Amino acid sequence: MTNIYPPLEIPETLAAGPGPGNTDPRVLERFAKTGVADHMQADVLRGMKEAKFMLRDLWGTKNVYTYGVAGTGWTGLDCMQSLILPGDKVVCFVNGTFSSIDDLTIRMKASSLEDLAKDSLNPKPANVITVTVPHGESVSGEIVEKALAEHKPMWAFMAHWETGSGRINDIQGFSDACEKHDVMGLVDAVSSLGVADFSIDDYPGVAAWASCPQKGVLSLPLTYAPVSFTDKAIDVVKKRGCYTFVNHPILDARHWGIIDGKDVENPVYHQTHSCYAVAAFHEALRIILAYGKAAKAEAYAYHEKALREAVEAMGCKVTSNMTSLVVCNLPDSMQGKEKELVQGARADGFGIWPTLSEPVQIRIGILNQLSEEQITEIVSRFADRMLAMGADFDKAKVMAGLQSYYAKKAA
């Protein structure tokens, strides 16, 4: 007999972690109010055409091969990393959970059949050199320069912002070293696009970039992962090909009206795109560009500082330097209680996260939480959870300090 399960009743949660963030109600409205339409319907194609133009503005680029890959951030990263073929020499810089997973993906793509046969789930090809930077530290330009000078690879990989540890890595130093040593840089910009104010054309050493829809862009977890390829990267694919169809950097671009390096009026079918996803993605890009990249970056920095100071006032030690995420150690008396604290918070509809690799820390994010009222709620709820777990501080004093921070701005 078939079981008919009851419908899901998923409650509203304050998403105060590294991502996904709280989607703007206007994006949800576009998603919900979109009619059923063929993926080649005129307005759907208009949405894709305008989205690729808005993405170029958001990325700060003239790269024609700039578009969205249907799926999560990992889908966009897979598209970018498909540039790598077995035997390619690659240097990967790792300083947290997600750059570590990127490194694993690259090792899989660069492996020979013999490499995969030895350990298919964690291959270690000699042609991929992993440079590990300790958790809580950033990848510096000096580290990149030294590694590229020594190994002289074809490709180099780095995460711009590493969400696992909350660290910003030196994108200028990375680009400069790649350019100096004639290396093609690949960058994971999952956590920086839509949060930081940068233009990728300012970093000519980077050949390809990939981001995600659920963090700075804030277009639901499953719409489009932004990617951008330079002509140099596309030329490599033209000459060598790559081992994918759906996430092919050139073939996928055809559905966005990008053919032979030019924007065309009549796109070519590649895969079935969701009209709902197109509408949501289009609206999310409209919202962020209307806000302004510089203004959004300034707002994140301003509110992150407020959260950082409040968390430190509770006795925590902040080790991150991202502006959308605070990563901290609990007070000495609470060490070892990180996961218990996070589980208790989630049970109350307060979605914070632990780090996913050692050492275990607390991650509190502010994606799309850019007002005094929203930061105050995050601080208050974190303080309540800390106190319930046995922390020793005066919540009233913490909240007064937060109010004073915002009062200075108003004055």
Strands 167-168 and 161-162 turn out to be: antiparallel
CB 80 within 8 A of CB 252: no
* Residue 387 reports pLDDT greater than 90: yes
Compute the average pLDDT of residues 208-228. Answer: 93
Q: State the span(s) of the chain assigned CATH 3.40.640.10.
A: 25-289
Per DSSP, the three-state class of 77 is helix
d(CA 156, CA 80): 12
Residues 6 or more apart whose CB falls under 8 angstroms from that of 344 comprise 385, 388, 389
Angle at 355 between CA 200 and CA 394, to 5 degrees: 110
Average pLDDT of span 282-300: 96
At residue 41, the pLDDT reads 85
For the chain, residues classed under CATH 3.90.1150.10 are: 293-410
Is residue 410 pLDDT above 80, yes or no? no
Rounded to whole angstroms, the Cα distance separating 68 from 273 reads: 11
Q: Please, what's the b/e burial string for 364-391 (b: 16 or more CB within 10 A of its CB; e: otherwise)? A: bbbbbbbebebbbebbbbbbebbeebeb
Report domain 25-289's class: alpha beta
pLDDT (0 to 100) of residue 39? 76
Show the DSSP H helices in 22-138 as ranges: 25-33, 42-59, 73-81, 97-110, 113-118
| 318 has pLDDT over 90 | yes
**How far is 142 from 144, CA to CA, in rounded Å?**
5
Q: Answer whether 268's CB lies under 8 Å from 255's CB.
A: yes
Between the alpha carbon of residue 214 and those of residues 22, 82, 87, 203, 285, the distances in Å are 9, 22, 33, 24, 12
> CA-CA distances (angstroms) from residue 212 to 166, 230, 368, 377?
17, 18, 15, 26
Average pLDDT over residues 317-324: 97
Angle at 337 between CA 333 and CA 342, to 5 degrees: 130
pTM over 0.75: yes
Class level of CATH domain 293-410: alpha beta
What is the average pLDDT across 314-323?
A: 97
- The mean pLDDT value of the chain amounts to 95
> Is residue 304's pLDDT more than 90?
yes
- Tell me the mean pLDDT in the region 58-73: 97
Q: Choose among 295, 271, 316, 275: nearest CA to 370.
A: 295
- For position 297, what pLDDT does the model report? 97
Interval 328-367: pLDDT, tens: 999 999 999 999 999 999 999 999 999 998 889 999 999 9
Q: CA 363, CA 328: separation in Å to the nearest integer?
A: 7
| Residue 363 assigned as binding residue | yes
Q: Is a pLDDT exceeding 80 seen at residue 316?
A: yes
